[in-house]
């Protein structure tokens, strides 16, 4: 029997009669039960039109329950989802199958300022005052501001020890830089795009282009609880896969392991995505210390029960010197020596909880956080063998963020010392509107005790330099659409008879990230 004939026969079958008794009425208009069996419940039933329980009380449509009770509660002529009040960001009743951060939470942290929510009640939240959004709830009440990025919001651990894990935590639910707690908890897709106009002060040249288009896929690994994967691709020139990472928990402990495409290192600068850079581009001052291998394995977790002290250990290898080397291999200067490295770092959360994947962009004032990370590693490259140590300090408080980082390297093959540092300061001048930032960094490259016979590109790049940048970021649409103005002054200083190189430019960047 063909499908069309089957469909025709099904249409001829009699529909089952509704179990409605003659004269039956909706007797109780607030019990959530279809009393008369006509498929319409309570105030949605015409029988309840005049019932006192279904009359407007003059209060706003401010909860999920009031946005699906069939009552024009505020008497403005619009009922439930037809009322624009039900489109508020803390309501989900009118979002169809899209389950936002309000419903992905399995529990709600009790918070002050207008009423507390019982654990497990994902509908109730403290009352938001005039001009407030859910972002303002982060760090309030019993919520500790310590989970604000996709990695820690997908690891199954209550990192900041405030009683709420992953998507139940206010930071994971309401910080717009967190994407794993939006919508379907399965595979998610993210886009970061930048349109840039550049004016080169030295050459007096202008240029405009779509400068970056980053595509990311991420989410839990099927069948493995509290796992996380991320695959990132840049497509603005030659499409290239730039990063892949797969993280799984180690048994029932709070420790975890991840295998990635070779970003193991010590620097906080290289840990965060390009869309989290305060000056659009990373400060490229640590390239003498950080190499990009082709593959890496990392182990991390807490050393104390409260998570104040944490560790991270890693091993990496392969010749992944350039972005887009996932699955590939790059050999330079006809040198086939195998590059590899091992290292570890320790983090102390003095106040609050800090993660090196956190975004430095502030959108609303934040509670006090102070984190210190110290680490060291051993590296071998095509020509070099060296040890390096790194330290970075992060401070967030109200509208201020300060990031300080220093990196020291001792090279054994040719005998040289190199030190580099970067200081970044950001200030939220107008919450949800304007953020300002300033940066200064420098590289002090020591001379070789025994100069190499051939200078590879890596060795030639180890020169004295400094960089100064300022930026202003306007939140055009929340912090998803950002308009940035950046001025950069980068100088490679005179060395070994080579002239000083100056690079000064101003940029206007329209960025969208979702």
pLDDT tens, residue by residue, 484-514: 999 999 988 765 556 678 889 999 999 988 7
Q: In this predicted model, what pLDDT tens digit does every residue of 188-233 receive, in sequence order?
A: 888 999 999 999 998 899 999 998 899 988 888 877 878 889 999 8
Contacts of 245 (CB under 8 A, 6+ apart): 228, 229, 230, 231, 258, 259, 260, 261
Query: What's the chain's Rg over C-alpha atoms?
Result: 28
What is the reported pLDDT for 105? 36
For residue 72, give Cα distances in angstroms to 68, 128, 209: 10, 21, 50
pLDDT in tens, 449-462: 888 777 766 776 67
CA angle (257, 258, 262) in 5-degree steps: 135
Maximum alpha-carbon separation in the chain: 102
pLDDT at 323 over 60: no
Torsional sign, CA 323, 328, 333, 338: positive
pLDDT at 100: 43
Mention every residue, 6+ apart, whose C-beta is less than 8 A from residue 287.
458, 461
pTM of the full structure: 0.71
Q: How far apart are CA 276 and CA 361, in angstroms?
A: 7
What class has domain 186-513?
A: mainly beta
* Residue-wise pLDDT tens digits, 132-147: 777 888 888 888 888 8
Residue intervals of the chain classified under CATH 2.40.160.10 are 186-513
Q: What is the mean pLDDT of the chain?
A: 81
> Is pLDDT larger for residue 304 or for residue 497?
304
Tens of pLDDT, residues 327-359: 766 655 566 678 899 999 999 999 999 998 899
């Amino acid at each position: 029997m063909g499908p069309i004939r089957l469909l025709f026969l099904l249409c001829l079958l009699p529909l089952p009669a509704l179990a409605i008794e003659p004269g039956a009425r909706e007797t109780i208009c607030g019990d959530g039960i279809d009393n008369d069996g006509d498929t319409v419940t309570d105030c949605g039933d015409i029988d309840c039109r005049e019932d006192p329980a279904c009359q407007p009380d003059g209060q706003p449509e401010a909860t999920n329950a009031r946005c699906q009770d069939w009552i024009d509660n505020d008497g403005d002529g619009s009922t439930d989802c037809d009322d624009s009040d039900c489109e508020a960001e803390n309501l989900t009743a009118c979002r169809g199958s899209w389950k936002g951060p309000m419903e992905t939470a399995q529990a709600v942290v009790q918070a002050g300022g207008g009423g507390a929510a019982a654990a497990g009640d994902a509908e109730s939240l403290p009352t938001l005052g005039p001009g407030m959004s859910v972002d303002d709830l982060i760090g309030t009440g019993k919520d500790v501001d310590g989970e604000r990025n996709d990695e820690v919001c997908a690891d199954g651990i209550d990192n900041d020890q405030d009683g709420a894990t992953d998507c139940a935590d206010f930071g994971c639910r309401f910080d717009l830089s967190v994407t794993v707690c939006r919508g379907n908890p399965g595979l998610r897709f993210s886009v970061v795009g930048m349109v840039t106009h550049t004016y080169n002060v030295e050459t007096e040249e202008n240029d405009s282009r779509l400068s970056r288009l980053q595509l990311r896929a991420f989410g839990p690994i099927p069948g493995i609880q509290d796992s996380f994967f991320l695959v990132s691709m840049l497509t603005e020139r030659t499409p290239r896969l730039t990063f892949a990472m797969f993280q799984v928990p180690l048994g029932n402990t709070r420790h975890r392991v991840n295998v990635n495409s070779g970003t193991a290192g010590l620097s906080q600068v290289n840990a965060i995505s390009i869309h989290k850079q305060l000056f659009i581009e990373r400060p490229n001052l640590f390239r003498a210390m950080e190499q990009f291998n082709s593959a890496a394995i990392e182990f991390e977790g807490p050393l104390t029960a409260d998570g104040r002290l944490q560790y991270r250990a890693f091993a990496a290898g392969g010749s992944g010197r350039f972005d887009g080397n996932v699955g590939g291999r790059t050999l330079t200067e006809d040198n086939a020596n195998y590059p590899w490295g091992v290292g570890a770092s320790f983090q102390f959360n003095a106040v609050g909880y800090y993660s090196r994947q956190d975004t430095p962009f502030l959108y609303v004032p934040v509670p006090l956080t102070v984190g210190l990370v110290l680490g060291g590693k051993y590296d071998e490259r095509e020509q070099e063998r060296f040890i390096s140590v790194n330290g970075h300090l992060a401070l967030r408080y109200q509208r201020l963020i300060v990031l300080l980082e220093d990196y020291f390297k001792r090279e054994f093959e040719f005998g040289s010392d190199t030190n580099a540092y970067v200081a970044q300061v950001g200030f939220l001048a107008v919450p949800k509107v304007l953020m300002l930032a300033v940066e200064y960094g420098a590289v002090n490259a020591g001379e070789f005790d025994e100069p190499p016979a051939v200078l590879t590109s890596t060795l030639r790049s180890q020169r004295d330099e400094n960089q100064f940048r300022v930026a202003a970021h306007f939140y055009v649409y929340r912090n998803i659409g950002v308009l940035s103005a950046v001025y950069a002054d980068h100088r490679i200083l005179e060395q070994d008879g080579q002239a000083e190189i100056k690079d000064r430019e101003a940029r206007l960047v329209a960025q969208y990230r979702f």
